[in-house]
Structure 1
Amino acid sequence: MSCTVARRGRNVWWQVVALCLALAAGVALAQEPIALSGTLKKAKESGILIIGYRESSLPFSYLNQIRRPIGYSIDICTAIVQEAGNEVGRDLTINWVPVTSENRIDAMTSGKIDLECGSTTRNAERQQRVAFSPVIFVAGTKLMVPHGSPIRTFRDLKGKTVVATAGTTNVEAIERLSTRFNLGVTIIRARDHADAFEVLRHGGADAYAGDDVLLYGFLAKYGLGKKYDVTRDFLSYDPYGIMLRKDDPQFAAVVDKAVRDLITTGELERLYKQWFMNRLPTGERLGIPMSAQLEDIIQSTPQQPD
C-alpha cells in the first residue's frame, strides 16, 4: 500500500516538473523577438528610410531657403522614422526623394519611397493601392480666383477654364461637378501646385482648384491676399494622411503608433500651431485655426495601450 502511494507521489511530482518545463518553454518562446519583414526589415538591414516629399505644399512639405524639406507633414514623418528606429533597434537615416501629385502613388508601390510626406488625401480609391496613417489634417477643394472675378460658386464655372494639379482629388472634384451639372469646364492639369498657381497668375485659367489650405498658403507666401480671393464653399472633403505601402502590417503598426502618440500627447496640436498659426521659418504666417473636424478626430483618438 505504501509503495503504491509512493509511486503515485512520484508520478504527480514528475507531472508537475513536466508542466513547469512546458510553461518555461512557452515563456521563452513568447519572449523570442518577432522576425522583421517588409519595410522594417529593409530599414534594419540598410539603416535607411526613404521619404517622398513635396516641393511646394506649404506648410505640409516644401523647401526652405537652403532647399531642405520642411513642414508639418515632414515633422510627423520624422517622428515615424524615430519610432521605426526604436522598433528595429538602430538609428535610421532619411533619404529624401521629391515626388509630385501625379507620380507619388507609383513611387510608393514601386518601392522608390517608404513614406510619402506631403498633402495627400486618404480616400477609399487610393487605399486599394496604398495604405495611410491616421488622419493628420482635414482640407477641402475650393477655388482661387482673381479679385473681382464673377466666379463665386462652382455653378459660375460654366464654359470656364480651371487649372488643378494632375493626380489630385481637386481634378476629380471639378470633373465630377462639370459632368453632373453640364458645365463644360476645360481643365488644365499642372505638374505641381506651384505650376498650377503660375497658370492662374499669368491668366491661363479663370480659376485654380486646390485644397483650401494650400491656396491660402500661396496667398501668404506671395503676399497676394488683395489680388486673389478663395471661394467660400467646399467642393470636396479631403482628409490627409501619411502614405505607406499596402500589406505591410509591421510598418503600418509603427506608423499608427507614432501618429497616435503625437495625438494623445498633445504634440500634434503643438505642431499644428507651429505650422498653421505661428510665423513659418520662411517668413509666412497662415493664421488658419484648426478645423472642427480635425479637433473631433484628435479628441476621439484613444490612447495606445502600454
Structure 2
Amino acid sequence: MYRKLAFVTLGFMLALSFSASPILAHTVLEKVAKTGVLTAGTSKDAFPFAYKNEKGQLSGYSVDMVKLIQKQLEQELKRPITLKLVAVDPEDRISSLLTNKVDIVCDASSFTWERERDVDFSVSYDLTGTRLLVKRGSSLWGPESLVGKRIGALPKTTNELSMRRAQPKAQIVLVQDRAEGYKALQEGKIDAYASDGILLEGLLQIASNANKFQIVGYPYSNEGIGCMLPENNSTFRDTVNYTLIRFMQGFLTGKKSEVSTFDRWFGGSGVAPLTQDQRDLVIENMRLTLDSLEPLPESDL
C-alpha cells in the first residue's frame, strides 16, 4: 500500500542503529498480529502530550497518535487491535522497550544518540525545547545566572542533560516526577525547574497559583518529539512513520480530522493553546520532515 519510508527529521531524528542488540524472537508486528493487542507506554504527567485526565484515563496529543497507529495496524493486519496504554516513568521508558513490556513509547520523548544506541525513533511529529520555570520576579535567565543555583529536573531526560551542559556549575536536583518538581519550586527547595517549554506552559494552565510563576530563558535545547520503538522492527517502524506522516500531511493540507485533532490540544480554544510563534515552529518542523519524503497520494489521506 505504501513505500518504505526513509526519513530525516530536522537532522537529529535519524534512523541509524548502533546497538548490537539480539533480534527479538517475535517482531512487534508478529506479536500484535498473534495477540490482537498493541501495548503502548506513555506518560502520566506530561500534559498535554500524555497524562491522566480527570477520569484517571491516559490521554493527550501523543496518545491520539498511538490511537492512529492502532487503526493503521487494524487495516494492515485485517483484524481488530486492542490498545493497551501503560504509564511509564521517563527513566523506565527504554528498559520497558528492551524487556518487551511495551511495544512502543509515545509521550514527549526526544532523540538523543545515547537513547538511539538502545532503541529506534519514529519521525518527529512535534517540537519542544528545555526552558525554566521560576518564581515570578526571579533574576534567572541565561546560563551565567545559573551558577550555584539548584535546578530541578527529571532523571535521564534531555532536560537534565541540557542543563548540565548549559551550566556545569549549577546544582542539578533530580525529582521523581513533574509534580514533585513543581512542589519543590513552590517550597523553595529548588530555584528553577527545567522541563520542555510546552509542558511547563501546560502545567501552568492547570495550576491554581500559576500567576506566581513564569517560564524564562531561551530554549536550552530544541528537540523533535517522536515515538520510541524496539530495534530490529523496521516493518513496524514503517507503519508508525507512515501513520505519523499521513497525519502531518493531512494537517498541513487542511484535512478536517487532522486539523481537529491538532486544534483539540493546541488550537486557540484547545486544551493547551500555542502562541502563534509556537504554532509556526511546530508547522515548520512538520514541513521539514515532509520535505525530505515523497508526498503520500491523495487517496491515502
Equivalent position amino acid for 1:304 in 2: L
1:272 maps to what in 2?
Answer: 262
Separation in 1, partners of 2:49, 2:175: 19
Separation in 2, partners of 1:296, 1:175: 28
2:143 pairs with 1:158: no
Which has the greater radius of gyration?
Answer: 1
Asked whether the 8 Å contact 1:161–1:187 carries over to 2, the reply is yes
| Range with bigger deviation, 41-50 or 220-229 | 220-229
Q: 1:212/1:53 Cα in 2 relative to 1: closer, same or farther (>3 Å)?
A: same
2:286 pairs with 1:298: yes
Separation in 2, partners of 1:216, 1:137: 15
Structure 1 segments unaligned to the other structure (5+ residues): 1-36
C-alpha root-mean-square deviation of aligned residues, in Å? 1.8
Over the matched positions of the two proteins, sequence identity in percent amounts to 26
Which residues in structure 2 correspond to 1:91-110 (within 5 Å)?
91-110=80-99
Separation in 2, partners of 1:81, 1:246: 19
Offset at 1:298?
A: 2.5
Deviations 1:175-210 (A, max 9, x none): 11223xxxx211111122222112112211000011
- Normalising by structure 1, what TM-score? 0.81
Asked whether the 8 Å contact 1:166–1:190 carries over to 2, the reply is yes
Q: 1 or 2 for the larger relative contact order (CA 8 Å, sep ≥6)?
A: 2
1:9 maps to what in 2?
Answer: none
2:212 pairs with 1:220: no
Deviations 1:2-24 (A, max 9, x none): xxxxxxxxxxxxxxxxxxxxxxx
Structure 2 counterpart of 1:61, from 41, 46, 50: 50
Offset at 1:95?
A: 1.5
Asked whether the 8 Å contact 2:48–2:272 carries over to 1, the reply is no
The aligned length equals 263
Structure 2 segments unaligned to the other structure (5+ residues): 1-25, 252-256
- Runs of 4+ in structure 1 deviating by more than 3 angstroms, as ranges, are 267-270, 284-293
Offset at 1:227?
A: 0.6
Which residues in structure 2 correspond to 1:74-223 (within 5 Å)?
74-179=63-168, 184-223=169-208
Asked whether the 8 Å contact 2:47–2:60 carries over to 1, the reply is yes
Asked whether the 8 Å contact 2:127–2:285 carries over to 1, the reply is no
- Normalising by structure 2, what TM-score? 0.82
Separation in 1, partners of 2:57, 2:269: 18
Q: 1:97/1:244 Cα in 2 relative to 1: closer, same or farther (>3 Å)?
A: same
Q: 1:73/1:285 Cα in 2 relative to 1: closer, same or farther (>3 Å)?
A: closer
